[in-house]
């Protein structure tokens, strides 16, 4: 174990060092070394400021770590520099003498021990016994406990403590704690969920943010412990692999996370950056994890090749534990972020972050082609117009608590892995709405019905709000800067995306500069004004919507050229079968797929003189093939445990029974998943019975 301890320690040391130091990084280190005071502090750091988020004093340790890295990178100009070493040791003494703390426990138990441990490992040969002992005392504040990313952070600090203290048992115990936390968390527990989404801070979707930190540290220590007495069992590598490849990569386009999965990190510049998973892919490969080819492809996409046909993800995923559906094609990524009574909408605004995220799960529907469409647009966003959401619009800050439990029970999705549909009953304040999304290859359809609001405030549905890129066209003509009201049916084109409104609607498009600041979202951020050109598209339903104003329909076609918009809008490949409070359904004529959200028992037209009747609320996917019927069903949160789908076709297969008195009809019985798999789709392929 002592030999393996030395191996682990050397690997931790090596991980801290880049291959080379960029000129800009070296220049920053020189500037910091020059400005440090004789007592080891920096004059521009307010050590008395105890802000819970963005703590200024923590910059002291950040600078010391960068200086220690520069001192250690072989072959670089600052490697072994005596003056730099003296300044680093002076800075270490300053921190150890004052032992700064923060009201936020995270800094004291995780952040400070983490940074300090890395500095001590890099500078260990030059530390006095007193310096090392004082540093180890601070590091011991990381007591292993909690769950998810927090536990892994705490255990990582204890691994570095064990390396510095020469305690192999401590390293073994901490690595075992991490391995134990690589598990599937059932029920309301935090961590990796059965659907491979990730929860932290209770029943809160957090596959980005905390989930990314969890992946980063678990993968890093899996690599560090590989082929030693401390290595993780193969079963743990399999679970971690599934978390990354079956979960996180399906919530990413290029180098950006879906903004619906990053919690309060949306309030930080670059908070949706997914490129932190680049070393995760490399670490998993070096740790001997399975599915190497998939990690290689994921790595290439993270590095900036999301639309490469050879590498692009293609498919549809419904994360039934977390009310999220994601949809990938080579040309685009889109998602539907919902909330039900099974979880909360977002993270709590602790540390005064995420202060405007009220509507982030109220049916948010983002669209990314490059991944940069929403990059740092959040300080200038109208937060009552989060893309995809229907809101009671007050024209100011969202009202009420940021974090709230979902109220809807008809919330869910159906997916066969290639196509899918999601639906939710939205209930917020006095607003009610029935929302649904239907995902195909070259387009997807957004429907809303039963929109009602008892207050006198107007209601609006946001279709998109993203960075403005190039020309906006509406009704075949360029639209200038400003706000423009359009009378539907109408079609709008922006940044290679077509938005077709096939029914009467009061559509508004705006191309204009919007201003704000990061301080709006996070009190620790500066009030410095931010200005960006923004494309906004929404539907006005008015106050107390009725009739046509109580519903909407929009077909979104990413990648459609502007000169093809008019003929496309005239001959849409999709037909809206129904858009009511009870039934929302769409059929794709070319693919011969029908997707439906049935909120009560009823019948849906499948086309080609075929229909399906269901005896309970459900979500339904039916595709007529040359040889038979491909069918998928799923239970919303409020659905029944069994379902019978009756179609007027003679088919055979699992659960099929001829209908008495109707020889051309077949009843198909489904037992729907419950417990941790409640909402998971059941998929069957049924063959036609030939006469």
Buried b or exposed e, range 603-625, using 16+ CB within 10 angstroms: ebbbbeeebbbbebbbbbbbbbe
DSSP secondary-structure letter at 111? I
At residue 541, φ and ψ (nearest 5 deg) are: -100, -15
pLDDT at 574: 98
In CATH terms, are 1-181 and 600-691 the same topology?
no
Going by C-alpha positions, the residue among 392, 370, 349 that lies closest to residue 521 is: 349
- pLDDT one-digit tens code per residue, 291-310: 999 999 999 999 988 888 88
Checking if the pLDDT of 691 tops 70, the result is no
Domain boundaries, the chain: 1-181, 600-691
pLDDT at 136: 98
* Whole-angstrom distance, CA of residue 214 vs CA of residue 218: 6
Q: Is 407 exposed, middle or buried (0-12, 13-18, 19+ CB in 10 A)?
A: middle
Checking if the pLDDT of 406 tops 90, the result is no
pLDDT at 630: 98
One CATH from 1.10.540.10, 3.30.390.30, 1.50.10.100, 3.40.50.720 for 1-181: 1.50.10.100
In percent, the amount of the chain with pLDDT more than 90 equals 94
Mean pLDDT for the stretch of residues 475-481 = 91
pTM beyond 0.85, yes or no: yes
pLDDT at 310: 86
Q: Is 50 exposed, middle or buried (0-12, 13-18, 19+ CB in 10 A)?
A: middle
| Chain centre to alpha carbon of residue 578 | 31
Q: What is the DSSP string of 300-325?
A: HHHTT-TT-TTT---EEEEETTTTEE
- pLDDT one-digit tens code per residue, 120-145: 999 999 999 999 999 999 999 999 99
Residue 388 backbone class (left: φ over 0; alpha: ψ -120 to 50; beta: rest): left
* Whole-angstrom distance, CA of residue 446 vs CA of residue 462: 11
In percent, the amount of the chain with pLDDT more than 70 equals 100
Going by C-alpha positions, the residue among 545, 578, 269 that lies closest to residue 438 is: 578
* Whole-angstrom distance, CA of residue 306 vs CA of residue 330: 7
Checking if the pLDDT of 198 tops 90, the result is yes
Confidence of residue 396 (pLDDT cuts 50, 70, 90): confident
- pLDDT one-digit tens code per residue, 257-303: 999 999 999 999 999 999 999 999 999 999 999 999 999 999 999 99
pLDDT at 246: 98
The CATH number that domain 600-691 falls under is 2.60.220.10
pLDDT at 351: 86
Total count of residues recorded for the chain: 691
CA of 417: how far to CAs of 131, 313, 373, in Å? 56, 12, 26
Strands (E), 547-617: 552-558, 574-579, 583-588, 593-598, 602-607, 610-614
- Is 690 strand, coil or helix? coil
Q: What is the largest CA-CA distance in the chain?
A: 95
Checking if the pLDDT of 252 tops 70, the result is yes
Mean pLDDT for the stretch of residues 80-108 = 97
For residue 155, cis peptide bond before it (omega within 30 degrees of 0): no
pLDDT at 124: 98
For residue 489, cis peptide bond before it (omega within 30 degrees of 0): yes
- pLDDT one-digit tens code per residue, 321-368: 999 999 999 999 999 999 999 999 999 988 899 999 999 999 999 999
At residue 468, φ and ψ (nearest 5 deg) are: -80, 125
Checking if the pLDDT of 397 tops 90, the result is no
* β partners of residue 602: 614
* Whole-angstrom distance, CA of residue 427 vs CA of residue 438: 21
Checking if the pLDDT of 407 tops 90, the result is no
At residue 111, φ and ψ (nearest 5 deg) are: -60, -50
Confidence of residue 628 (pLDDT cuts 50, 70, 90): very high
pLDDT at 287: 97
Helix (H) / strand (E) containing 492? strand 490-494
Residues 6+ apart with CB under 8 A from 3: none
Checking if the pLDDT of 36 tops 80, the result is yes
Checking if the pLDDT of 211 tops 70, the result is yes
pLDDT at 488: 76
Structure tokens that stand for 489 in this block: 């049916």
Give the end-to-end CA distance of the chain in Å, rounded to a whole number. Answer: 72
Place of tokens 């159906």: 414
């Amino acid at each position: 174990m002592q030999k393996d301890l030395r191996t682990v320690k050397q690997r931790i040391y090596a991980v801290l060092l880049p291959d080379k130091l960029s000129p800009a990084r070296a220049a920053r280190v020189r500037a910091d070394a020059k400005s440090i005071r004789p007592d080891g502090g920096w004059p521009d750091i307010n050590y008395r400021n105890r802000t819970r988020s963005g703590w200024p004093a923590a910059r002291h340790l950040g600078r010391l770590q960068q200086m220690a890295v520069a001192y250690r990178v072989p072959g670089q100009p600052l490697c072994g520099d005596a003056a730099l070493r003296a300044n680093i040791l002076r800075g270490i003494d300053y921190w150890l003498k004052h032992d700064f703390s923060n009201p936020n426990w995270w800094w004291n138990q995780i952040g400070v021990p983490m940074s300090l441990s890395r500095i001590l490992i890099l500078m260990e040969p030059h530390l006095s016994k007193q310096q090392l002992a004082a540093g180890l005392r601070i590091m011991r504040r990381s007591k292993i406990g909690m769950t998810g990313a927090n536990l892994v952070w705490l255990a990582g600090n204890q691994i570095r403590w064990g390396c510095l203290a020469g305690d192999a048992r401590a390293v073994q115990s901490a690595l075992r704690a991490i391995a134990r936390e690589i598990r599937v968390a059932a029920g309301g527990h935090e961590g990796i969920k059965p659907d491979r989404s990730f929860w932290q801070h209770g029943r809160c979707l957090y596959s980005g943010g905390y989930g990314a930190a969890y992946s980063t540290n678990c993968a890093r220590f899996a690599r560090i412990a590989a082929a030693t007495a401390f290595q993780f069992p193969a079963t743990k590598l399999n679970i971690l692999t599934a978390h990354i490849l079956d979960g996180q990569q399906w919530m990413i386009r290029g180098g950006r996370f879906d903004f619906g999965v990053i919690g309060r990190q949306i309030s930080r510049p670059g908070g949706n950056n997914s490129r932190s998973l680049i070393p995760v892919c490399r670490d998993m490969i070096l740790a001997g994890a399975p599915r190497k080819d998939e990690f290689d492809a994921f790595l290439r996409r993270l590095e900036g090749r999301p639309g490469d046909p050879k590498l692009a993800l293609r498919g549809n995923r419904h994360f039934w534990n977390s009310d999220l559906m994601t949809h990938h094609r080579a040309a685009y990524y889109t998602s539907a972020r919902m909330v039900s009574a099974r979880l909360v909408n977002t993270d709590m605004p602790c540390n005064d972050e995420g202060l405007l995220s009220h509507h982030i799960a109220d049916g948010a529907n983002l669209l990314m082609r490059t991944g940069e469409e929403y990059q740092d647009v959040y300080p200038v966003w109208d937060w009552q117009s989060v893309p995809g959401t229907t809101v009671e619009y007050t024209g100011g800050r969202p009202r009420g608590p940021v974090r709230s439990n979902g109220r809807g029970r008809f919330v869910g999705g159906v997916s066969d892995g290639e196509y899918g549909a999601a639906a939710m009953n939205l209930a917020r304040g006095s607003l009610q709405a029935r929302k649904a999304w239907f995902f195909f290859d070259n387009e997807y359809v957004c429907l809303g019905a039963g929109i009602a609001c008892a207050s006198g405030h107007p209601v609006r549905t946001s279709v998109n709000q993203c960075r403005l890129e190039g020309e906006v066209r509406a009704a075949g003509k360029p639209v200038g800067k400003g706000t423009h009201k359009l009378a539907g049916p109408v079609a709008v084109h922006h940044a290679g995306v077509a938005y077709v409104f096939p029914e009467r609607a009061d559509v508004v498009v705006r191309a204009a500069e919007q201003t704000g600041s990061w301080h709006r979202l996070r009190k620790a951020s500066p009030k410095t004004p931010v200005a960006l050109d923004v494309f906004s598209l929404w539907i006005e339903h008015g106050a107390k919507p009725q009739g046509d104003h109580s519903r909407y329909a929009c077909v979104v076609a990413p990648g459609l050229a502007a000169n093809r918009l008019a003929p496309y809008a005239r001959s849409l490949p999709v037909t809206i079968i129904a858009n009511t409070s009870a039934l929302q359904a769409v059929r794709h004529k070319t693919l011969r797929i029908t997707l439906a959200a049935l909120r009560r028992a009823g019948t849906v037209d499948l086309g080609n003189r075929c229909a399906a009747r269901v005896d309970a609320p459900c979500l339904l996917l039916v595709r007529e093939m040359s040889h038979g019927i491909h069918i998928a069903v799923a239970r919303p949160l409020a659905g029944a445990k069994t379902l019978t789908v009756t179609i007027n076709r003679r088919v055979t297969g699992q659960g099929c029974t001829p209908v008495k008195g109707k020889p051309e009809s077949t009843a198909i019985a489904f037992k729907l998943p419950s417990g941790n798999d409640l909402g998971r789709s059941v998929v069957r392929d049924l063959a036609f019975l030939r006469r």
